[in-house]
């Protein structure tokens, strides 16, 4: 089982990147969770696409996702919604539109996130649903992980130290992997 985890934050000390690393640690032994990044993806510009084609970072990420059994979006929440850099990356991944089905079509997608606030990316996770529907992805609704007050869940080095969050994350990753396995059977 090969899953791709994509952190939607550019910040070096991102709670969502830390959550992705913790998910890699807690993944079942038969699950490879590959950490991917939105670093290197420029702002979407149709003129740039027309003149130069897709940036190398976009092509590499598209191929990585297309070759996976499922995609996990580790989403921050900015102003009660999807962070601009993360949405921008997904917009690039949907280009050209003729390639959407290869990258997203029917692909199982799980959304989870961590936030320093009290709502733990609730609004951002909900905002992803129409985007995923438009792309033809298959969102997984088997569980939720919304890490609230993330500053208390991770130590200064970005290690997950909250036992309850680790337990929920472990169950989430295993549940999503089982879901993906069931779809590919």
Whether residue 110 is predicted with pLDDT greater than 80 in this model: the reply is yes
Task: DSSP letter for 42, please.
Answer: P
Question: What's the pLDDT at 185?
Answer: 61
Of the chain, the percentage scoring pLDDT greater than 70 comes to 99
User: How many whole angstroms separate alpha carbon 51 and alpha carbon 115?
Assistant: 38
Sign of CA dihedral 176, 180, 183, 185: negative
Query: What pLDDT, in 10s, does the model give residues 20-74?
Result: 999 999 999 999 999 999 999 999 999 999 999 999 999 999 999 999 999 999 9
Q: Are 66 and 93 in contact (CB under 8 A)?
A: no
Question: What's the pLDDT at 57?
Answer: 97
Report field, pTM of the whole predicted structure over 0.85 = yes
For the chain, the average pLDDT equals: 96
Query: What pLDDT, in 10s, does the model give residues 32-44?
Result: 999 999 999 999 9
Number of compact structural domains in the chain? 1
Query: What pLDDT, in 10s, does the model give residues 77-90?
Result: 999 999 999 999 99
Range of the domain at 74: 2-184
Q: Which residues are within 8 A (CB) of 27 and not within 5 positions of it... i.e. 6 or more apart?
A: 3, 33, 173, 174, 177
Q: What's the residue count for the chain?
A: 185
CATH number of the domain that residue 7 is part of = 3.40.50.360
Whether residue 173 is predicted with pLDDT greater than 90 in this model: the reply is yes
User: How many whole angstroms separate alpha carbon 175 and alpha carbon 120?
Assistant: 20
Q: Are 76 and 115 in contact (CB under 8 A)?
A: yes
- What are the E-state strand segments in the chain? 2-7, 32-36, 70-74, 108-114, 138-139, 146-147
Question: What's the pLDDT at 29?
Answer: 97
At residue 184 the predicted structure's pLDDT band, cuts being 50, 70 and 90, is confident
At residue 144 the predicted structure's pLDDT band, cuts being 50, 70 and 90, is very high
């Amino acid at each position: 089982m090969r899953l791709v985890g994509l952190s939607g934050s550019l910040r070096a000390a991102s709670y969502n990147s830390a959550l992705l690393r913790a998910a890699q640690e807690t993944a079942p032994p038969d699950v490879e969770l590959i950490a991917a990044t939105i670093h290197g993806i420029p702002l979407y510009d149709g003129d740039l696409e027309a003149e130069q084609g897709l940036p190398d970072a976009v092509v590499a990420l598209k191929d990585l996702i297309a070759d996976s059994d499922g995609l996990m979006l580790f989403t921050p929440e900015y102003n009660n919604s999807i962070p601009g850099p993360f949405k921008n990356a997904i917009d690039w991944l949907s280009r050209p539109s003729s390639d959407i089905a290869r990258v997203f079509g029917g692909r199982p997608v799980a959304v989870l996130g961590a936030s320093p606030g009290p709502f733990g990316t609730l609004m951002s996770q909900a905002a992803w649903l129409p985007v995923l529907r438009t792309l033809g992805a298959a969102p997984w609704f088997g569980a939720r992980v919304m890490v609230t007050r993330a500053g208390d869940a991770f130590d200064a080095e970005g290690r997950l130290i909250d036992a309850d969050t680790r337990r929920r994350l472990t169950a989430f990753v295993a549940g999503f992997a089982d879901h993906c396995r069931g779809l590919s059977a």
